[in-house]
A = this chain, B = another copy of it.
């Protein structure tokens, strides 16, 4: 399997750096091919310009995505989303005709997205660290549930472009990661990496399978009747 790790942390000696190194070594030991886009080390250009067309740096990232079977996005949660440098990777690499604007747009079909798209058939997983505690991100935690905070990335970026999205690998309270917790984290991460191909993805609803009105793109009335919010875009299990 070909694995691309898109990695954003400014300090290679950080917990994130150590986890990234562990992931690369673990995947390679299992016989997989790994590429890493280390955005800080690459000094990735972050801002999308007016009328920008994909230059060589963007084309290289698009080629890596096409090469990959699985894409891991690794970052510390800053202000409840990805660091700016990774957002700039998305803004620029997900260009028109690659990340969006694919397929027929008409009264019958609203493009190839949300389950279809350039990256259909691939898998994606977030690896995210937080300074805050796990309960702060729980169903009744003050920050909001982590699943809802990550929904715009999971659903609006990864699934949008066609990828199946695996549940995230999360490490909370990073300031308290000592050697024992780091060893536990690596063991758990290893299990997650060993099951990238077998694990069940988040069951987002495909846009073009008949669940949505077109062009309003609202969930049809008879599906999850009366329910609202991000969660209705997950099929009942």
Contact = CB atoms under 8 A, between A and B. Distances in A.
A87 B10 CA distance: 15
Given A87-B83, A216-B135, A232 B140 contact: yes
Contacts of A143: 156, 217
A33 B138 CA distance: 42
Interface stretch (A18-26, A53-61, A145-153): A145-153
Interface residues of A, number: 57
A155 B155 CA distance: 20
Interface string A148-164: 11011001110000000
A31 B207 CA distance: 49
B218 A138 contact: yes
A152 B149 contact: yes
A210 interface: no
A152 B80 contact: yes
Given A139-B229, A142-B114, A229-B144, A84 B91 contact: yes
Contacts of A141: 216-218
Given A10-B48, A50-B10, A144 B151 contact: yes
Interface in A202-237: 207, 212, 215-219, 227-233
